[in-house]
């Protein structure tokens, strides 16, 4: 503690009073904490007064061995930089937003005469109209389904659209107007696109009125088939109205964010409203210390949440927060317009915030119940395999191949909060000495690569990425292969268990193998057995899915892809001339020379490649 205070005091001598961001760093160059300050000198000086520090902050001071500073022009700039650095370094003493993936959008792609409507995630590089964000792919799919029913827009890719000679099934079931084969004129199709644009922009009432009038006119003209089309479209739009919660479609562009804390954990629910429509919601469980309150958790969450996405005009929250004006100004800079953060006191907006808070409470209660159940299962695993404590990290390994080809190994990770999918890894089997289908050698390569890298990155074994238990899919042979690898690397304290499929691959009759012990079975109704089966099945799912993707890539790979000196243009010229890659492979040098862009030297090189 005294050393930490001395180190912090040493920086105060040359530290000015300007705003900026500071980083507290431990003896292994790990960032402990990122903070921002209006006055760096005054803020850092607070850490030297031990009496005013909480136990958590005092512990952080005791670990501090160096500091780094970045000065900024304003406190707002410091706040923006702080959020960026927290997401980059993930310091253990900061409130941290986890699972912050980019959100999906709906894109009306206008690069073609007949625009396509599709899901989009990532940078907005394609030309067109973007609508979002949506909380999940499921929310996007639901809206795309409505767009198909109501406006009959195409969802197929440009390559499929350009190559069609007759309408697809979607036209038959009235989900597409088939502009690909001119079943609808360009003018009429673009009118549908404009209506879909208006619908996603929040003008659904005006569209409903237009559809109603068209339905009545078609019915009056005894064109009952057309009237039925507009009736079905109205039904689809009515489904949107049923999802508006307490807003009555009046909330044009806003996010509603509510935090609920209980038992030292917090859930933050975010509901997205755009164009008067509810575009889904998502629950977050930020990492924070148990003694931190919602008024500091919520602004930290908001700052990090909008670090990589555009804030809406309005953000409704359920709790007072610290430095609200500063946060509004920072978000306004990101959005290049004013952003208002409001805690409603009455009316429909208050009802909406209360509804979102209720969702946050229920999500937290579910998570606590699941975590409690998970803890009981982990306790059962610890007891079964005689572990010293509840395992924080279980790694499960599996292999996949077809007759030895496209061999792949995979690792999944599970812990107190369930599957940790961001830690999953796949291993392409690289060794050329492994014979086809040698599962033991494949397992040796996977484990060897995994732990050689782990030892190189963390020789002191202080990181949380070291497993407390290895679960291997296989029997005695796989177990022996893993033990050989660990022994060679000098790792002797990680428990290893192999789980072998039962007779006829029956679930519930698995054999468990531990080093130096006889194999055993668990009772078919044992909850721990179900848990271990679930881990094993998840590893199967992941490795088989990864293997399927690898095979697909291999199938789509052309034998021309690796030709030396042949790029995309020449490859296209060869295919156009010969008709197939197989024909190129069998062509003579004189025939190859006839292709535009292929010289005699290159033709000889291509021929030699296929005829070594």
Whether residue 562 is contained in a domain is answered as no
Higher per-residue confidence, 513 vs 609? 513
Residues 261 and 355 in one domain: yes
Structure tokens given for 412:
């999944």
pLDDT above 90: residue 538: yes
Please give the residue range of the domain that contains residue 127.
105-241
What percentage of residues in the chain have a pLDDT greater than 90? Answer: 45
Number of neighbours of residue 125 by Cβ within 10 angstroms: 6
Residues 416 and 543 in one domain: yes
Residue 594 belongs to domain with CATH number: 1.10.150.20
- Residue 507 confidence class, pLDDT cut points 50, 70, 90: low
Which of 365, 383, 416 is the C-terminal boundary of a domain? 365
Residue 100 has a pLDDT of 66
pLDDT above 70: residue 239: no
Residues 549 and 402 in one domain: yes
Whether residue 387 is contained in a domain is answered as no
Question: Which whole number is the average pLDDT over 570-595?
Answer: 84
Number of neighbours of residue 438 by Cβ within 10 angstroms: 19
Residue 36 has a pLDDT of 95
Residues 594 and 459 in one domain: no
Number of structural domains (the chain) is: 5
Residues 194 and 266 in one domain: no
Whether residue 471 is contained in a domain is answered as yes
Residues 131 and 47 in one domain: no
Question: Which whole number is the average pLDDT over 189-218?
Answer: 84
Phi, psi of 600 (to 5 degrees): -65, -40
- Residue 504 confidence class, pLDDT cut points 50, 70, 90: low
Q: What angle is formed at CA 487 by the lines to CA 483 and CA 493, rounded to 5 degrees? A: 80
Q: pLDDT digit string (tens) for 131-188?
A: 888 888 888 888 888 788 888 888 888 888 888 888 888 888 888 999 999 999 999 9
Whether residue 434 is contained in a domain is answered as yes
Residue 321 has a pLDDT of 93
Residue 268 belongs to domain with CATH number: 3.30.420.10
Question: Which whole number is the average pLDDT over 201-213?
Answer: 79
Which of 241, 274, 301 is the C-terminal boundary of a domain? 241
Contacts of 182-190 with CB under 8 Å at 24 or more apart are: 184/152, 186/113, 186/114, 189/114, 190/115
Whether residue 246 is contained in a domain is answered as no
Average pLDDT taken over every residue of the chain: 87
Helices and strands counted in the chain (H then E): 20, 18
Residues 219 and 286 in one domain: no
Residue 488 has a pLDDT of 92
Residue 479 has a pLDDT of 94
Residues 58 and 188 in one domain: no
Residue 429 has a pLDDT of 82
Residues 171 and 257 in one domain: no
* Helix/strand/coil (H/E/C) assignment for every residue in 6-75: HHHHHHHCCCCCCCEEEEEECCCCCEEEEEEECCHHHHHHHHHCHHHCCHHHHHHHHHCCEEEEEECCCH
DSSP state of 287: B
Q: pLDDT digit string (tens) for 255-271?
A: 999 999 998 899 999 99
Residues 547 and 400 in one domain: yes
Burial of 53 (0-12, 13-18, 19+ CB in 10 A): middle
Whether residue 381 is contained in a domain is answered as no
Residues 69 and 130 in one domain: no
Closest to 395 in 3D by CA, of 287, 507, 520, 542: 542
pLDDT above 60: residue 52: yes
Residue 553 has a pLDDT of 61
What is the Rg, in whole angstroms, of the alpha carbon atoms belonging to the chain?
30
The three-class DSSP label of residue 80 is helix
Task: List, in sequence order, every residue forming a beta bridge with 470; answer none if it has no partner.
Answer: 395, 496
Residue 49 has a pLDDT of 86
Q: pLDDT digit string (tens) for 363-416?
A: 999 888 888 889 999 999 999 999 989 999 999 999 886 555 567 889 999 999
Instruction: State the Cα–Cα distance between residues 556 and 589, nearest whole angstrom.
Output: 26
Residue 80 belongs to domain with CATH number: 3.40.1440.10
Instruction: State the Cα–Cα distance between residues 343 and 335, nearest whole angstrom.
Output: 20
Residues 228 and 129 in one domain: yes
pLDDT above 80: residue 233: no
């Amino acid at each position: 503690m005294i050393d930490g205070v001395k180190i912090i005091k040493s920086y105060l001598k040359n530290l000015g009073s300007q705003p900026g961001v500071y980083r507290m760093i431990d003896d292994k160059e790990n960032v402990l904490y990122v903070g921002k300050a209006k006055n760096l000198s005054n803020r850092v000086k607070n850490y030297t007064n031990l009496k005013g520090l909480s136990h958590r902050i005092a512990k952080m001071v005791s670990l501090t061995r160096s500091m780094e500073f970045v000065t900024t022009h304003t406190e707002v700039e410091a706040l923006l930089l702080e959020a960026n650095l927290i997401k980059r370094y993930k310091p253990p003493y900061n409130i941290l937003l986890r699972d912050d993936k980019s959100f999906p959008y709906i894109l009306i792609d206008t690069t073609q005469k007949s625009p396509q409507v599709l899901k989009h995630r990532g940078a907005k590089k394609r030309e067109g109209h973007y609508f979002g964000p949506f909380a999940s792919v499921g929310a996007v799919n639901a809206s795309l389904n409505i767009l198909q029913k109501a406006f009959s827009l195409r969802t197929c890719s440009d390559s499929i659209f350009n190559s069609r000679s007759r309408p697809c099934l979607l036209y038959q079931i009235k989900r597409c107007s088939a502009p690909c084969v001119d079943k609808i004129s360009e003018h009429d199709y673009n009118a549908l696109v404009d209506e879909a644009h208006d619908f996603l922009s929040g003008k659904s009432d005006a569209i409903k009125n237009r559809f109603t009038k068209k339905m009545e006119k078609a019915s009056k003209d005894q064109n009952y088939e057309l009237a039925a089309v507009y009736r079905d479209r109205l039904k689809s739009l009515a489904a949107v109205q049923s999802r508006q919660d307490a807003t009555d479609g009046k909330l044009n562009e806003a996010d509603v964010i509510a935090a609920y804390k209980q038992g030292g954990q917090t859930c933050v629910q975010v509901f997205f409203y755009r164009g008067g429509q509810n575009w889904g919601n998502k629950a977050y469980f930020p990492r924070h210390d148990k003694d931190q309150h919602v008024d500091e958790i919520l602004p930290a969450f908001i700052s990090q949440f909008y670090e990589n996405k555009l804030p809406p005009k309005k953000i409704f929250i359920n709790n007072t927060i610290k430095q609200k004006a500063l946060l509004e100004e920072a978000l306004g800079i990101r959005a290049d317009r004013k952003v208002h953060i409001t805690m409603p006191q009455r009316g429909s907006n208050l009802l909406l915030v209360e509804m979102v808070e209720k969702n946050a409470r229920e999500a937290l209660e579910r998570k606590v119940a699941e975590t409690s159940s998970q803890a009981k299962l982990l306790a059962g695993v610890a007891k079964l395999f005689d572990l010293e404590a509840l395992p924080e990290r279980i790694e499960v390994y599996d292999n996949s191949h077809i007759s030895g080809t496209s061999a792949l190994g995979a690792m999944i990770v599970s812990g107190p909060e369930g599957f940790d999918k961001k830690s999953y890894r796949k291993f392409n089997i690289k060794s050329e000495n492994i014979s086809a289908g040698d599962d033991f050698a494949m397992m040796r390569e996977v484990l060897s690569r995994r732990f050689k890298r782990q030892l190189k990155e963390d020789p002191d074994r202080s990181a949380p990425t070291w497993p407390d238990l290895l679960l291997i899919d296989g029997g005695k042979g796989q177990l022996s292969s893993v033990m050989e690898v660990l022994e060679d690397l000098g790792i002797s304290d990680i428990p290893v268990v192999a789980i072998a499929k039962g007779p006829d691959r029956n679930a519930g009759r698995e054999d468990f193998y531990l080093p130096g012990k006889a194999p055993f079975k668990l009772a078919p109704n044992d909850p721990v057995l179900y848990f271990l089966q679930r881990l094993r099945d998840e590893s199967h799912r992941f490795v088989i899915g990864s293997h399927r993707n690898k095979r697909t890539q291999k199938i789509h790979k052309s034998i021309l892809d690796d030709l030396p000196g042949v790029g995309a243009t020449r490859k296209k010229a060869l295919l156009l001339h010969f008709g197939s890659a197989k024909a190129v492979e069998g062509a003579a040098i004189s025939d190859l020379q006839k292709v535009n862009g292929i010289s005699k030297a290159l033709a000889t090189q291509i021929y030699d490649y296929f005829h070594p």
